[in-house]
Amino acid sequence: MAPGVGRGPGFGVVMVKNLHGESCLGRQEYLHRLCQSTETTLRTGFGPPLCTVGAMTSPVPAHLPRPVAVVGPTGSGKSEISLALAGALDGEVVNIDSMQLYRGMDIGTAKLPVARRRGIAHHLFDVLDVTDTASVAAYRDAAVAVVDDIRDRGRTPVVVGGSMMYVQALFDAWDLPPTDPQVRARWEAELERIGVEALHDELARQDPVAAQIIERRDPRRTVRALEVIELTGKPFAASQPPKDRPTRWDALLLGLQADADWLNPRLEQRVATMVEAGLLDEVRGLVETGLRRDSTAGQAIGYAQMLDHLSGHLSFDEAVEATVTGTRRYARRQRAWFRRDPRIRWVAASGTDPAGEALRTVMETVRASRGTAQ
């Protein structure tokens, strides 16, 4: 297992780096305080260290670094920008892409290979098996502990990904109501009776906003949304916290702005590159480890279509075209979701230097916040 990559409850064994580059392993619920550094870097906001205090018994930075999140549509270049920011800000990268949580799902999720991570610690990648069910609540609890640990060690968490509900759960403390087994079972029976697309139509009738967020062929999230609506008597979106208040940790949200004319050709090329890199063979291998079409991992764009091809429902060319279509549709939903958040500071993904613009935006935010504080 690579340094900085871990498993924890619901997400198993966790490995994180301390300031000396050493690693420590632990099995604890939600990763609490796995590594304590013997040296604490103090700094204000973002950026390089201001001073260092060594050999502290209980190191507590005077000014904990503010996390930076890089969000936006798929294929817009978030991973490379997160590396640039983490390198400049003495940071560590934290995943917030629900499908990059899964081990072995590398090509189809465009997961950054370890060799390209520039020695920067990466967390919450490859923490689930394809037979596991990814949960927003479990992710939130694990990610909060990871971000707290990174900040406690005086480093900047750089959170990267585009899974919309995961982003809101982490940064807005979105607490969904607990599941009700009887209500859940009733909607699962309805799913079995009428199929996922018809059930999604029912969701669209009850809550059009939720239907725009949730993929049409995602049975688990469709059932969950209908369950929440029934339990609360309100639209699923009504359970979301408002976006007009500060984020958890006062995190800075950076969004990559990518219009369809620029992004769609990139997405087509991206899918073609995945196919050439062996996406179908990757899916075949994952089937041997338990990947199924009705599992959470089996709903991922690219994987679902290749599974449909392997089962004889689609030709290979049809599976590739369906992957392109699904990717475009997902990017469109992401753009619409993130545009509704007034706290996001936007960076042009199609610019000549998006990484430089992102770093300048971070620095401008620091200067503005210091001026306000004074």
Question: Secondary structure of 187-247 in the HEC alphabet?
Answer: HHHHHHHHCHHHHHHHHHHHCHHHHHHCCCCCHHHHHHHHHHHHHHCCCHHHHCCCCCCCC
Question: Is residue 180 helix, strand or coil?
Answer: coil
Query: Which tokens belong to 225?
Result: 């949304």
76 is in an annotated binding site: yes
| 243 known member of a binding site | no
Distance CA 172, CA 164 (A): 12
Phi-psi region of 118 (alpha: psi -120 to 50; beta: other; left: phi over 0): left
Please check if 78 is assigned to a binding site. yes
Rounded CA-CA distance 172/240 in Å is: 8
Q: Is 98 annotated as a binding residue?
A: no
For 96-141, give the DSSP string.
Answer: --TTTTBTT--TTTTPPPGGGSTT--EESSS-B-TTSPP-HHHHHH
Residue 163 annotated as lining a ligand binding site: no
Query: Is residue 73 a known part of a binding site?
Result: yes
Give the up-direction half-sphere exposure of residue 235: CA atoms within 13 A in the CB hemisphere: 14
79 is in an annotated binding site: yes
Is 195 part of any known ligand binding site? no
Known binding-site residue numbers for ATP: 72-79
Known binding-site residue numbers for substrate: 74-79
Known binding-site residue numbers: 72-79
